A and B are shown apart, each in its own frame.
Chain A
Amino acid sequence: MRRPLAALRRDTPGDLAFKALLAACSVLVLLLALYPIYFVVIASVSDPAMVATGRVWIVPREISWFGYEQILADERIWNGYRNTLVYALAGTALNLLVTMPAAFTLSRREFRPRRVLMFFFAFTMFFSGGLIPMYLLLRDLNLLDNWLVFILPSAVNVFNLIIARSFFEHSLPEELHEAASIDGANYFQFFARIALPLSMPILSVIGLYYLVQHWNDFFTGLVFVRDYSLQPLQIVLRDILISNQAFSGGAGGAGGAGAGSYAQQYADQIKYGVIVVSTLPVIVLYPFLQRYFEKGVMIGAVKG
């Protein structure tokens, strides 16, 4: 019945095959996930003709900054960038200001209405009024073509609210509140001086979620805003990447010239560059922030 321990340790041929298969799969998955992103980066600085004829695979060839020069000169991109920065920062500030205190209240066990309120919030995750009633509401509130439309309707994300509430419930010992009450602290003081400083991890997590949500928001600009000067980066990106709108320098209009043409090659280089420029903040910050992102999923999973 009992086998010698050594037999458990030594790799059988089956184990070796398994390890080889695993290594192959891991490398494949890694390549699939990262290579497209890497390719965009090298293609954005390579000579467009080299890219178009399939001679750029591993390193950039015949460095060309044409795409980036065009992008630097393009007013729309920088206007969109500025708008997105403003919306993302102001929006995230409001998000946190509204979400954190609410999550704190909903985490207090002595606060009896919290069950009813949780239902009030969670119900909106599964049922909504839909596009048209929302549009008409925003029209009545004069929020169409108004920069506040990027900030106010998305002030509370119920998922993030639940994550923050779980965090308060699980990592704020009840003794802390008792001790603080004995010292005469009321709820405001307890929240501001004790609960909030202790919840910096969760503040970062949902702050990042909100930030990414604002950064990638395309829908709001598409449906609720006509004024181009208010449009965020994602709308500008759509026009360049997908609608193939011409660049100020004349390059970029792909359609008529025919695919594979000279103009098309330069248009593609601009696209690669635009992808890099617009996604850069997320990619650069990513290695530093990823442990926070992950933490959010874990906390959320404790009690969904």
Chain B
Amino acid sequence: MTSATAVRPAGGAAPRRAGSGPGRRLRRHVRRYWQLWAMVAPAIAFVAVFAYVPMYGLQLAFREFDFAAGITGGDWVGLKYFQQFFDSPQFWTLLRNTVVISTSTLVAGFVAPIALALMVNQVLGRRRKKFLQTATYLPHFISIVVIVGMLQVFLSPTSGLITRVVGLFGVDGANFFGSADAFVPVYVVSDVWQHAGWNSIIYLAALAGVDPQLYEAAKIDGAGRFSIIRHVDVPALVPTMIVLLVLNMGNVLNTGFEKIFLMQNPLNLGVSEVIATYVYKIGILSNQFSYATAIGLFNTLINFAFLVVANQIAKRVSNTSLW
């Protein structure tokens, strides 16, 4: 303490330097490792500008948007826009649609890759296994626009491929795109079709790591094929399942905006309008920036809460967690 005061007269800059220990450490670190810093700096800059500046802009949800004053210049209105959203007639519909679509996708999208991996893993012969695996994840790389386009031609009530196949089973002229009831099943099934193969890769890797002795032991104990799957394969997948489930929980309300938006039509809007598409329409198409920001923030917060809670549960129950 005394020595610090003794140094002070040396110059105006001295006390500031002495007072900012971490800052000085950082500066020394940057000087020592400037090349490493230089390599990571562009990435930091891009993420700071295009991810953190918009987070700072979230305060718009609590302000009146002022065209001249910019994002942070408008009058503070507190929770007005959140209140407006909760009171709006759309609130419960949007929430219900979002939850229905995302949880059905979450469940089907979670189970299908596991089942697929367990099945592919049983196939004998490296090349056959490889071929099956490769074929199933090809659809993952098709763009969403093309997927929805394919759905439209395949589900056309008069000439669609799927309509005709369904017709073979006695359902004539099914109009999948024109009916609100079919929206969620079509969305979920096509999602599983597109991504189950890709998402099964990670499970297949986990299965490849199972100790072969376990299989031998199970066989000697007289376990049948299904009970080997049940008692050896499935337990081997549990850690992977938990990590993926937690990650997916963080996206509970993050329904795929693009696909839903593209699949929307006046006939299914009652079940297909979700928070993400509503934010786009309110914000970008009708310029109610503050209101749309508030709705978006609500969505993000719910997701974040789900992620944190799911992670805590996973940590307590199984010692597996993201952080």
Binding site for B on A (CB under 8 A): 2-3, 8, 14-15, 18, 22, 25-26, 29-30, 32-34, 36-37, 39-40, 51-54, 97-99, 101-102, 104-106, 108, 110-113, 117, 120-121, 124, 126-137, 140, 152-153, 155-156, 158, 161, 186-188, 191, 212, 215-216, 218-219, 222-223, 234, 237-238, 240-242, 259-260, 264-265, 268, 271-272, 274-275, 278-279, 282-283, 286-287, 290, 293-294, 297-298, 301, 304
Q: A120-B44, A260-B158 are in contact. List 12 more A-B contacts (CB 8 A).
A: A104-B39, A126-B304, A127-B304, A129-B54, A130-B279, A130-B293, A136-B289, A156-B46, A218-B262, A241-B146, A278-B143, A286-B138
Q: A121 contacts B47, CB within 8 Å?
A: yes
Interface pairs A-B: 9 shortest CB-CB: A129-B54, A241-B149, A133-B57, A130-B296, A101-B39, A102-B43, A260-B158, A216-B143, A133-B54
- A130, B219: Cα distance in complex, Å: 53
- Among B36, B224, B226, B280, max chain A CB count under 10 A is at B36
| Minimal Cβ-Cβ distance residue in B for A244 | B152
- A129, B50: Cα distance in complex, Å: 9
B44 / chain A contacts, CB cutoff of 8 Å: 102, 117, 120
| Minimal Cβ-Cβ distance residue in A for B116 | A29
- A241, B144: Cα distance in complex, Å: 11
Q: A33 contacts B145, CB within 8 Å?
A: no
Binding site for A on B (CB under 8 A): 29, 33, 35-37, 39-40, 42-44, 46-47, 49-58, 60, 70-71, 116, 119-120, 122-123, 132, 134-139, 141-146, 148-150, 152-154, 156-159, 161, 164, 193, 197-198, 201-202, 205, 219-220, 224-226, 240, 243, 250, 257-258, 261-262, 276, 279-280, 283-284, 289, 292-293, 296-297, 299-300, 303-304, 307, 322
Which of B53, B137, B148, B158 interacts with A129 by CB under 8 Å?
B53
Q: B138 contacts A283, CB within 8 Å?
A: yes
B55 / chain A contacts, CB cutoff of 8 Å: 127-129, 133
Q: A15 contacts B43, CB within 8 Å?
A: no
B198 / chain A contacts, CB cutoff of 8 Å: 297
A301 / chain B contacts, CB cutoff of 8 Å: 202, 205, 240
Identify 8 residue pairs between A and B in the complex whose beta-carbon atoms are under 8 Å apart, listed by A's number: A34-B138, A130-B58, A131-B296, A234-B145, A278-B143, A282-B141, A290-B137, A297-B201
B280 / chain A contacts, CB cutoff of 8 Å: 131, 223
Using A52-B158, A218-B143, A294-B201 as known contacts, say yes or no to A105 and B37 having CB atoms under 8 A apart: yes
Interchain nearest-CB distance for B200 vs A (Å)? 10
Q: B225 contacts A105, CB within 8 Å?
A: no
- A152, B143: Cα distance in complex, Å: 21
Q: B60 contacts A132, CB within 8 Å?
A: yes
Which of B29, B116, B136, B156 interacts with A268 by CB under 8 Å?
B156
Q: A29 contacts B136, CB within 8 Å?
A: yes
B50 / chain A contacts, CB cutoff of 8 Å: 134, 137, 152-153, 155
Interchain nearest-CB distance for B249 vs A (Å)? 11
Using A132-B283, A140-B70, A242-B152 as known contacts, say yes or no to A191 and B145 having CB atoms under 8 A apart: no
- Among A2, A130, A237, max chain B CB count under 10 A is at A130
- A130, B50: Cα distance in complex, Å: 11
Which of B56, B143, B257, B304 interacts with A234 by CB under 8 Å?
B143
Using A130-B293, A133-B55 as known contacts, say yes or no to A111 and B33 having CB atoms under 8 A apart: yes
Using A135-B283, A290-B134 as known contacts, say yes or no to A36 and B60 having CB atoms under 8 A apart: no
Q: B139 contacts A33, CB within 8 Å?
A: yes
Using A242-B262, A268-B156 as known contacts, say yes or no to A237 and B143 having CB atoms under 8 A apart: yes
Interchain nearest-CB distance for B307 vs A (Å)? 6
| Minimal Cβ-Cβ distance residue in A for B54 | A129
Interchain nearest-CB distance for B115 vs A (Å)? 10
Interchain nearest-CB distance for A150 vs B (Å)? 13
| Minimal Cβ-Cβ distance residue in B for A17 | B225
Which of B150, B159, B226, B322 interacts with A54 by CB under 8 Å?
B159
Q: A242 contacts B43, CB within 8 Å?
A: no
- A282, B138: Cα distance in complex, Å: 9
Interchain nearest-CB distance for B23 vs A (Å)? 13
Which of A26, A121, A126 interacts with B132 by CB under 8 Å?
A26
- A80, B226: Cα distance in complex, Å: 51
A287 / chain B contacts, CB cutoff of 8 Å: 134
Using A40-B150, A105-B40, A298-B205 as known contacts, say yes or no to A186 and B35 having CB atoms under 8 A apart: yes
Q: B122 contacts A22, CB within 8 Å?
A: yes
Q: B293 contacts A127, CB within 8 Å?
A: no
- A33, B220: Cα distance in complex, Å: 37
Interchain nearest-CB distance for B85 vs A (Å)? 13
Which of A33, A188, A240, A271 interacts with B193 by CB under 8 Å?
A33
Which of B119, B141, B143, B161 interacts with A286 by CB under 8 Å?
B141
Using A22-B123, A36-B161, A242-B262 as known contacts, say yes or no to A129 and B51 having CB atoms under 8 A apart: yes
Using A54-B159, A133-B57 as known contacts, say yes or no to A223 and B284 having CB atoms under 8 A apart: yes
- A104, B157: Cα distance in complex, Å: 54
- Among A129, A158, A265, max chain B CB count under 10 A is at A129
Q: B39 contacts A275, CB within 8 Å?
A: no
B122 / chain A contacts, CB cutoff of 8 Å: 22
Q: B43 contacts A121, CB within 8 Å?
A: yes
Q: A37 contacts B146, CB within 8 Å?
A: no
Which of A18, A132, A186, A268 interacts with B292 by CB under 8 Å?
A132
